Amino acid sequence: MAQKAAKQLAARNTTVLNKAHLISLGNNVFFLLMRLLVYRATYTRKTLLLWVLLSSPAWVVEFWLEKIGRPTYAENGELKKSGEDLEAKGLTDFMWDLMYWTWACIAAASMVGDKAWWMYAVVPVYSTWMAATTVMGMRKGMAGMAGQGDGDSQEADAGGDSKRQKKLEKRGGQKVQYR
């Protein structure tokens, strides 16, 4: 049972990547069929350009995940490298979200029309929000390490009472009610 975890990761990555490729292929073929057969009158070069332009981030992410996640095997069939964990948090998770959202936009655009591509505007808004909250969290964390936090916490750390404790003492302390 040598490398059991690596073999499990390789099998899981292979399954996930194959499923992602099939969904992507099906979604894009569905878009093209709907545009060519059902919505033939509204099919224009602009539609095709929008599809290529706005689907390309998902294709890039899909091929990147393929590159880092696909396991490699030696010529004798032994596992050489299991690939990166495709269920990792952080950037990998964001890449999957980007791919899922792009697939949703493609499906909506295939059924509704070119106006559905405006749904894709959520991605930069979400990215900006995530970056801003991360930076703010880092700033708070760094301020806490440097001793530049709130005045209340500094006062409480220095042995003084916080504002809340002072208010409680002013009111006669904390009262407990028994039933």
Through-space distance between the first and last CA atoms of the chain, rounded to whole angstroms: 62
User: Is residue 162 over pLDDT 70?
Assistant: yes
Flag whether 162 is in a domain: no
Residues 27-81 pLDDT 10s: 999 999 988 888 776 667 888 888 899 899 999 999 999 999 998 888 888 888 8
pTM assigned to the model: 0.66
Task: Tell me how many domains the chain contains.
Answer: 1
Evaluate if residue 104 carries a pLDDT over 50.
Answer: yes
Is residue 154 in some structural domain? no
Domain that holds residue 8: 4-149
Instruction: Tell me the mean pLDDT in the region 4-9.
Output: 86
Q: What is the DSSP string of 24-61?
A: HHHHHHHHHHIIIIISGGG--HHHHHHHHHHHHHHHHH
